[in-house]
Structure 1
Amino acid sequence: MKSTKLFNILLGPVVSEKSTMVGESANQTVFKVRRDATKLDVKNAVELLFKVKVDSVQILNSKGKVKRYGKSVGRRDHTKKAYVCLAEGEEINFAGSPD
């Protein structure tokens, strides 16, 4: 796969209480990814961008919430998250410090 496409797969990390707990306990990192991304795309993108070894990837599709806008009813966009399990001893540091 072309590396230019892989750079567009990951939209950013998910920073929440749940993703922090999963990261500490199971050595996983959570990313928001494109809706058309596959597990193999996510694995290749993480390995290319962060230079780490990925063990497995789990994908979560979540539907957008239904919201009211005045009298009309609308829906927020659907999202896709990827739970990336890193190999033992591997770590992704988003803070940018060398440690």
Structure 2
Amino acid sequence: MNQAATLSPPRALPNARTRMILEAPVLPTLLALAAPNLVVMLAQALANFLESYYVGLLGVDALAGAALVFPLVMLMMMMSAGGIGGGISSAVARSLGAG
């Protein structure tokens, strides 16, 4: 093997976002990254409350049916969120590792 084949390519300098994640103080960085998630979680909680209120207006039978399928719906939501979160974490780790 020649020497050119064994050398790795030069690494690019990280951009501002990458430097923020790697070098900035932890608490402000976590709060900045958590803010969009907090907004989405509040919106989902409000939507779930409004759906429950509407189903409650339909009657006891509709409310019992919703209570029956609720655990399965939550299971599917959590499985999809875990898959998406794992994929995003993997993509971020790969891009940081690749430079």
Please state which band the TM-score falls in when normalised by the shorter chain: under 0.3
- Please state which structure has a larger fraction of its residues in strand: 1
Structure with the greater relative contact order (CA < 8 A, sep ≥ 6): 1 or 2? 2
Report which of the two structures shows the higher radius of gyration computed on alpha carbons: 2
Normalising to structure 1: TM-score of the pair?
Answer: 0.24
Normalising to structure 2: TM-score of the pair?
Answer: 0.24
